[in-house]
Structures are given as structure tokens and as C-alpha cells.
Amino acid sequence: MIAALHRNPLAVIATLAVSGALLWLMAHLVTVKPGVLFWISVLVLWALVWIGNDALSGISTLSPVATRFRNLAVPAIFGLTLLLLWQLVVKGFGISPVFLPAPSDIWVRFSTSFATLKADFIQTFLRAVLAGWAIGSLAGFLVAILCDAWGFLRRGLLPLGNLFAALPIVGVAPIMVMWFGFDWQSKAAVVVIMTFFPMLVNAVTGLEASGHLERDLMRSYGASYFDTLIKLRLPAAMPFIFNALKINSTLALIGAIVAEFFGTPIVGMGFRISTEVARFSLDMVWAEIAVAAIAGSAFYGLIARKQGERGDVQHEEISDGRGGDRGIDGWNGLGLCRGGDDPAQMGDAGPVCRLLRG
């Protein structure tokens, strides 16, 4: 049956559509403690969706456009199935919303508390995150230029930058709250410190990325330091700088939210999460998390897209192991870059994924 599916895209789509729709219907109709037959049919439908999705991922006779669509659809179907199962399990087993609210409840809460969520979003994201991210990244970039011009500073600051990038910097939040007050300025300050070092380390590395040949050429043109910087070395550094901007976008959101645990005015995403948790209204917490996830992904995606528009093909190559000389002693040619490029927090596994897809 699976082999037959592989040869017939239409059958795959039909299987997915029918089993998905039935699963959707069941998630809508489910009541507390349904019979065994119900759960068996859920499992069967889930298996069908799974097989369909597997077949979809295996179809190799697609046009490039369809392939791109397919590569988006496979994880999306997986995610939607997970949401449906979440809904089915929570409702079917009558799990208390104090433990885990159903996606439908979270959605209801999301739409009814939209005004609160919006105010929190403005306070945390539009004020603290964006300001801190911009100031921190800019400061890191400017210091990187200074480091580049003055080798002594680079040799002194870069090891410290690498050290700081691994430290739990978010711990400075209580100090910043003490210095800059309860409002968003203190959160922005935490974000500034968190985003400074990744940008510094990446930009310094990027400024060294242009080849000797190109630099020699610029010298033979009689180009000044600034000409070389602006026309050759900054463009060569752009993939690294964008990489740092992406890392910083995720760091900034986490930093601002966690910093709010240490004291805020009565608005903000971190404040809302900590107070609603204390009141056991987890649907609101999940709604806030959804906002954070959407905002974070959109922010990240926007920067990645700007980078894409610049046509930085170098990027993949770099995060695929050109950072080999950084932090990987003894091993030859290693994948993940160290020193601020914290893949766990940056979530930047796009290149890895693309690599795996071939």
C-alpha cells in the first residue's frame, strides 16, 4: 500500500485529506471518557496521516515549486497532527486545565484576552527587546570595528568575549532592575549585555573573513583603510553579522522575558507568565507563549529573509564548519561554531536541515 502511495501523489493527498479531516472532526466532537473504539479509530487515523506524510516526504517526482511546498507541508502536517492529538488527549481523558489546557481553550483565551496580550507584547517586545537588540548589536559591531583597527584590543577583548558568551548573563537582571528601575529600560539593558558579545565575536571573525588575495588587490589599488573596510571587508563580514543578528533576536526575547521575573510594572510578557502561573490559569500562559513563539519566529524569519535578499550564499558554508578554527582544538573540520554562536538558543539549524535534505 505504501509503495502504491509513493507512485501516486493524488492518492497521498487524498489519504492525508480524508484522515486529517476525520481526525479534526473527532477532535471537535470528543467528550470526556469516550470508548475504546474511539481511541482505536484515533490511532488508525493517526497512523494513516503518518503513512501519508511519510509517502509525501518520499515522493521524488515533483517540480521544484511543488518540492518547496512539500518541504513546508510535511512539518506543518506533523505539527497540526500533534495539535489535534493534544486536543484529543486533553479532552478525551479529561485532563485538568490546571495541568495542561487544550489548544482550543488556549485559542479562546487568546482571542478574549487579546487587549492584554497586545499590551504585554508592546511592553516587552516593541520596547525592551527591539531597543536592547538594536543597541546591543550596534555596540558590539562598533567595538568589533575598533578591535579590528587595533589588534591589541582584539587580542585582549576576544578571549573575554568568548568567555562571556558562555556565561549565564541573564543573571545580571536583578542588578539592572536595581540600576534602571522596574520599567522596560532595565530589561533593555539586560538585552544589551546579552546581545553585545555574540555580535562582537561574530563581527570580529567576519572582518577577518576576506581573503588575502582580495586585500592585496585593494592595496595595489592604493585603497585607504576605510575604502577597504567599506568596499571589501564589511561586505565579506555580512554573513557573520547577520548570523549574530539572528542569534541575538532569540537571545533578546528570552533575556527580556526572564528579566521581567525580577520585577516589572504590571505589564509585560514575563510578568504575565509568572503571575498567571501563580494563579494556575495556564491557558493565559500558553497564549503568552504562543505570542512569544510567533513574535520570535517572525523576528528571526525577517532577519533571515533580509539576509536572503542580500544573497549571502556564504552563510551556509560558514555555519557548516568554516568556524572550525574556533573552539575546536584537535578535531579536524567541525560543524557547530562555538563562541557565542549558541545553536540551542539561536535555533539556527536551518543549514543543518538543508544539508540533511541534500
Residues in CB range of 268: below 8 A, 6 or more apart: 120, 123, 124, 128, 184, 187, 260
What does each C-alpha distance from 207 to 24, 70, 144, 149, 247 come to in angstroms?
52, 38, 8, 10, 18
Shorter beta-carbon distance to other proteins: residue 132 or 296: 296
Q: From the CB of 8, what's the least distance to other proteins, in Å?
A: 18
The residues in 61-90 that bind other proteins, with binding defined as CB under 8 A, are: 74-75, 77-79, 82
Stretch that binds other proteins, among 138-146, 200-208, 210-218, 268-276 (CB under 8 A): 268-276
Asked if residue 285 binds other proteins (CB under 8 A), the reply is yes
For residue 274, state whether it binds other proteins (rule: CB under 8 A). yes
Q: Which of 66, 68, 171, 219 binds other proteins (CB under 8 A)?
A: 171
Give me the 339-358 binding string for other proteins, x by CB under 8 A, dash otherwise. ---xxxx-x-xx-xx-xxx-
Restricted to residues 37-56, the positions that interact with other proteins (CB under 8 A) are 50, 53-54
- Using the rule CB under 8 A, is 121 a contact of other proteins? no
Helix (H, G, I), strand (E, B) or coil at 32: coil
Residue number, 184 or 238, with CB nearest to other proteins: 184
Q: Which of 168, 212, 220, 313 binds other proteins (CB under 8 A)?
A: 168
Q: Three-state DSSP class for 333?
A: coil
Interhelix angle 103-112/114-121, rounded to 10 degrees, is 80
Between the alpha carbon of residue 326 and those of residues 159, 182, 183, 209, the distances in Å are 11, 39, 38, 13
CA dist., res. 17 & res. 165, Å (int): 47
Element (H, E) at 339: none
Binding footprint of other proteins, residue count (CB under 8 A) = 82
**Interface with other proteins includes 102 (CB under 8 A)?**
no
Task: Output the nine-digit C-alpha cell for 295.
Answer: 513574535
Residue from 29, 58, 69, 181 that binds other proteins (CB under 8 A)? 58
| 268 scored as a contact of other proteins (CB under 8 A) | no
